[in-house]
Amino acid sequence: MLRISVLTDDRLFHAGLRRILEPDPAFHVVADTDTAAVDVLLIDGRVNGALAACAAQRLVGGPKVLIVAAPDDDAWAPEALAAGARGILSKSAGAEDLVKAIHVVADGLIWARRRVIVACLDRLTGAPPPARGGDTSFEERLSGRERDVFRHAAAGLGNRELAQRLNISEATVKVHLTRIFQKLGVTGRAALAANYGRTTIDRQNHPIR
State the average pLDDT over residues 31-35. Answer: 64
User: What's the rounded Cα separation, in Å, for the pair 145 and 78?
Assistant: 26
* CATH 1.10.10.10, applies to 128-196: yes
CATH says 2-112 is which class?
alpha beta
Residue 25: pLDDT band by 50, 70, 90 thresholds? very high
The answer on pLDDT for 31 being more than 90 is no
**pLDDT confidence of residue 195:** 52
**Amino acid at position 26, single letter:** A
Do 2-112 and 128-196 have matching folds? Answer: no
Give the pairing type, strands 2-7 and 27-29.
parallel
Tell me if 95 sits within 8 A of 177, measured CB to CB.
no
* The pTM of the whole model exceeds 0.85: no
The domain ranges of the chain are 2-112, 128-196
Residue 207: pLDDT band by 50, 70, 90 thresholds? very low
* Phi, psi dihedrals of residue 86, rounded to the nearest 5°: -100, -10
CB atoms within 10 A of CB 7: 21
149-187: pLDDT as tens digits:
887 776 667 788 888 888 999 889 888 888 887 777 766
**181 class by beta-carbon count within 10 Å (0-12 exposed, 13-18 middle, 19+ buried):** middle
pLDDT, mean over the chain: 78
**pLDDT confidence of residue 192:** 59
**pLDDT confidence of residue 165:** 85
68-116: pLDDT as tens digits:
999 887 778 888 888 889 999 998 899 999 999 999 999 988 898 877 7
Beta carbons within 8 Å of 101's beta carbon, 6+ residues apart = 66, 87, 89, 93, 111, 207
For the chain, the farthest-separated pair of C-alpha atoms sits apart, in whole angstroms, at 55
Alpha-helical (H) ranges within 60-169 are 76-82, 95-106, 114-125, 138-141, 144-154, 159-166
User: What's the rounded Cα separation, in Å, for the pair 107 and 198?
Assistant: 10
